[in-house]
Amino acid sequence: MRKTTPAAPELAPAPAVQAAAPHAGADAPIDLAREVRFYLQQTPRQLPSRFLYDALGSALFDAICHLPWYRITRAEVQLLEQHARTIGQAIGPSGRVVELGSGSGEKLATLLTHAGLPGVHAHLVDLSDAALARSVQTLAMLPGLAARVTTHRATYEDGLQALPDADAGPTLLAFLGSNIGNFDAPGAAALLRQLRAALRPGDALLLGTDLVKPERDLLLAYDDPLGLTAAFNKNLLLRLNTELDADFDLAGFDHRAIWRGDASRIEMHLVSRGAQQVRLAGADLRVDFEAGETIWTESSYKFEAAGVRQLVEPAGFGQRQQWIDERARFALTLFAAV
């Protein structure tokens, strides 16, 4: 998708890029320290999955998207290409697109290219500065696209708050990649209500959700033979070593993926290979791990196609269309705010 040759300037004026007002401490060290301190002392020990996305974590996740066993991204890009025209009709040429967790920006580029929406204003919300910078480059390379791009380095919640509403045309809110799968049911319901509150009746929500599939496929996707997902997971400890002056021994922890069929979720854990003590100076914390004790770093819920509607409609949306990649078992669902 990424174009290697920049379009001629007269065809594609460089997008006006602006970073919205910084969000005080969206992911500032002080919050990292406080949250890590809190979550590592819970039973079971845990760390919020959004901390996986520093610069290296975002790059590792991009690499994961190329793995043959991790099919979410390719399936979704294909569905976006196939149905972009229909999706684009939800906002028309003067609308705006907001993407939460935009990552590399490739999906938005795909959507805008195939939807034929050269005039839209794009808002990108992501925690990673590096990912936002790459997205801006990717969007700048779209031939014929005069999209204005605004980046928000923020959590979903803060990013939504920061959206200007004065100049807003019809809005398409894109929440792709099954990012919603990181939330448990109450969390997802609360977030969907926040999404709805940021929209007006008639605005659209485009939601990507990974569907339940055979356990062996899920385990290959989350514990891949190349070890990229293990690196993605362990990078969280590397990040804490760097940013919180911690002394995690990366070789002292194993990556583990577990499918919990009863809860319909994949869990990622970091398992302590032996009894060990870890100091996190920047969080004013010492942790004693027992052999086999785990840190729960991510939940990735998997859905039934019909369950998506049941999850989303109570938040104030009506389902308009649903497209499913049956081979990858992935669904893209378009809703209207009611």
**Positions in the binding site for ligand AVJ (CB under 6 A):** 64, 72, 177-179, 181-182, 222, 229, 298, 300
Buried b / exposed e along 58-83 (16+ C-beta atoms within 10 A): bbbbeebbebebbbbbbbbbbbbeeb
Distance CA 226, CA 312 (A): 35
Write out the DSSP string of 235-278. HHHHHHHHHS-B---GGGEEEEEEEETTTTEEEEEEEESS-EEE
Minimum CB distance to ligand AVJ smaller for 258 or for 285: 258
Minimum CB distance to ligand AVJ smaller for 232 or for 335: 232
Minimum CB distance to ligand AVJ smaller for 104 or for 300: 300
Distance CA 251, CA 18 (A): 41
Residue nearest to ligand AVJ (CB): 300
Supply the minimum distance, in Å, between the C-beta of residue 298 and ligand AVJ: 5
Supply the minimum distance, in Å, between the C-beta of residue 57 and ligand AVJ: 10
Supply the minimum distance, in Å, between the C-beta of residue 2 and ligand AVJ: 19
Supply the minimum distance, in Å, between the C-beta of residue 143 and ligand AVJ: 28
Alpha-carbon distances, residue 175 vs 111, 119, 313 (angstroms):
13, 21, 15
Buried b / exposed e along 191-224 (16+ C-beta atoms within 10 A): bbeebbebbeeebbbbbbbbbbeeeeebebbbbb
Supply the minimum distance, in Å, between the C-beta of residue 243 and ligand AVJ: 20
- Token readout for 16 is 């006006």
Contacts of 133 (CB under 8 A, 6+ apart): none
Supply the minimum distance, in Å, between the C-beta of residue 228 and ligand AVJ: 8
Supply the minimum distance, in Å, between the C-beta of residue 89 and ligand AVJ: 27
Distance CA 11, CA 6 (A): 10
Partners of residue 261 on adjacent β-strands? none
Minimum CB distance to ligand AVJ smaller for 20 or for 268: 268
Minimum CB distance to ligand AVJ smaller for 65 or for 244: 65
Minimum CB distance to ligand AVJ smaller for 150 or for 300: 300
Minimum CB distance to ligand AVJ smaller for 128 or for 182: 182
